[in-house]
Amino acid sequence: MENQLQIYNTLSRKKEVFIPLRSGKVGLYVCGPTVYGKAHLGHARPAVTYDLLFRYLKHIGYKVRYVRNITDVGHLANDADEGEDKIAKKARLDELEPMEVVQIYTNDYHKNMQQLNVLPPSIEPRATGHIIEQIQTVEQILAAGYAYESNGSVYFDVEKYANDYPYGELSGRKIEDLQTNTRVLDGQDEKRSPLDFAIWKKASPEHIMRWPSKWSDGFPGWHLECTAMSCKYLGDTFDIHGGGMDLTFPHHEAEIAQAKAAHGKDAVRYWMHNNMITLNGQKMGKSLGNAISLEEFFTGEHDLLEKAYNPMTIRFFMLMAHYRSTLDFSNEALQAAEKGMERLLKAVETLDKLEAKAESTVDVKSLSGKCYEAMNDDLNSPIAIAHLFDGVKMINSIADDKASISADDLEQLKSLYSTFVFDLFGLKKAEQQGGANTEAYEHAIDLLLQLRVDAKANKDWATADKIRDELAKLGFEVKDTKDGFSWELK
């Protein structure tokens, strides 16, 4: 019980102490991407958020099964009944086989996630790979009496469900309000109520993604996959379900209803929702046309970007804000994050070179405690980072002989930074090229700078400055240190 993690549960709207269903084990499900386009900055938010959660849960000793799905069918492009499947639509536009579209963007997503150093989940199920499970779930819901068949499609009976169970708990919605506010869409005559949603949809003749079922040749409803797959891999009741805030209604509300209708009990114990990324104060979203793809961030090829940003900068940028706050994108903010991260990573390097003394004038234990306290408080990474920056001062002061550290404390400090910076926050140092060529050129630069040291010893400032300035022109940053020099290629 050393680390008592508290998680904000959307269901109760407050922070709750996290106690898993089965001691020592955690079942975590997160809504993954719909693979019909390039991943954008918004996709990185939940990925990084729940990656942090995944890493932290493992760090504090849990065995975690992390399931994050790939949605490759079931989301309609437009209005519920008249629209067509997103994937199918994209396939027609590009004249590709639907699964080809899915594969392209799945590969893309994986690549981006790897660049962001997001760990792969334990299981990454695809909706199309679980049609049978989804059909079974439809059958269960029908058998329980919370769905009805209409013209080859099966609809969830929201009103009947709402009579027996609370509906709208998660999103704070009242069914009466929904009834008066629901927009009337075309072709809803198949439904008994506009609130009802399809759990199996009959495919129109031109619809290319279709599977046989007893009701019709069709495809599963938009919300069903998560219910079917989370329960398949994590059980009828599991610990944590995460996703973007925009999924709270109707997606997660529908999930709750489906699972309860099918199994008679609540599936999820803790609901977590990450907030949105905004651009000029407005949500960044594909449908809003203001999304910047991750690839564009990494290459800098977008009108709004002043430069290319390292994936680690994006990651750090996100960690510097709490996951439940909106995070506003700007070049200025991103560059501030970039510099801050560099300073942090540099301090970690400095830390490796520190020498222990007999006595400590710094309080490592307290620093460590504060970092864990922040993480336990609903994954407050910005607070933890703030404390790590306090530690940066500590490290630099020790390096400057303005403070000292004992061997024990030094070990602890190293372990703290290695744990937080690399294991939990998942940051990586800038890639070193390595190899024989690199080594040779590094020695050449060292040689030049050694000549500069000699020049300095002879007070030959002209030569010394020339070496430094010329190297600077080539992109090298040279710094003098107490006993020599250091350099890096910017």
Nearest CA to 364 among 396, 391, 385?
391
Residue 453 contacts RNA per CB under 7 A = no
Letters for 141-160 (x = contact with RNA by CB under 7 A, - = none) are --------------------
- With beta carbons less than 8 A apart as the criterion, state whether 175 and 167 touch: yes
Among 396, 406, 412, 419, binds RNA (CB under 7 A): 396
CB neighbourhood size of 265 (10 A): 9
Give the Å distances, CA to CA, from 428 to 55, 347, 351, 421.
15, 14, 16, 8
Residue nearer to RNA on the CB measure, 278 or 418: 278
Determine, following the binding rule CB under 7 A, whether residue 465 of this chain makes contact with RNA: yes
Stretch that binds RNA, among 18-26, 38-46, 155-163, 212-220 (CB under 7 A): 38-46
169 near RNA (CB under 7 A): no
Nearer to RNA, 231 or 374 (CB): 374
Say how many C-beta atoms besides its own lie within 10 A of residue 104's C-beta. Answer: 17
**Binding range to RNA, per CB under 7 A, among 136-144, 241-249, 410-418, 422-430:** 241-249
Q: State the minimum distance, in angstroms, from the CB of residue 24 to RNA.
A: 28
Task: Tell me if 156 sits within 8 A of 134, measured CB to CB.
Answer: no
Site string for RNA, 64-103 (x = CB under 7 A): -------x---xx--xx-----x-----------------
Bridge partners of residue 149, in order along the sequence: 154
**Shortest Å distance, C-beta 23 to RNA:** 28
* Of 385, 381, 354, 355, residue with least CA distance to 367: 385
Q: Indicate which single residue of 3, 103, 326, 361 sits in contact with RNA (rule: CB under 7 A).
A: 326
Q: Which of 104, 144, 333, 445 binds RNA (CB under 7 A)?
A: 333
Range 196-225, binding RNA (CB under 7 A): 197, 222
Q: Is 193 in the site for RNA (CB under 7 A)?
A: no
Strand partners, 485: 480
Q: Which of 223, 260, 220, 270 is nearest to 53 (CA)?
A: 270
Backbone angles phi, psi at 270, to 5 degrees: -125, 120
Residue 339 interacting with RNA (CB under 7 A): yes
CA distance linking residue 70 with residue 78, whole number of Å: 20
Smallest separation (angstroms) from RNA to the CB of 71: 7
173 touches RNA by CB under 7 A: yes
Contact range with RNA by CB under 7 A, out of 133-141, 199-207, 301-309, 472-480: 472-480
How many C-beta atoms lie closer than 10 Å to residue 305's C-beta? 16
Site for RNA in 358-387 (CB under 7 A): 377, 380, 382-383, 385-386
Report which of 314, 325, 337, 208 is spatially closest to residue 278, judged by C-alpha positions: 325
Complex with RNA: residue 20 or 243, whichever CB lies closer: 243
By CB under 7 A, residue 251 contacts RNA: yes
Q: Which is nearer to RNA, 20 or 209 (CB)?
A: 209
Rounded-to-integer distance, Cα 351 and Cα 405, Å: 11
Rounded alpha-carbon distances, angstroms, from residue 189 to 150, 197, 201, 205, 373: 9, 12, 14, 19, 54
Q: Which two tokens stand for residue 222?
A: 């938009």
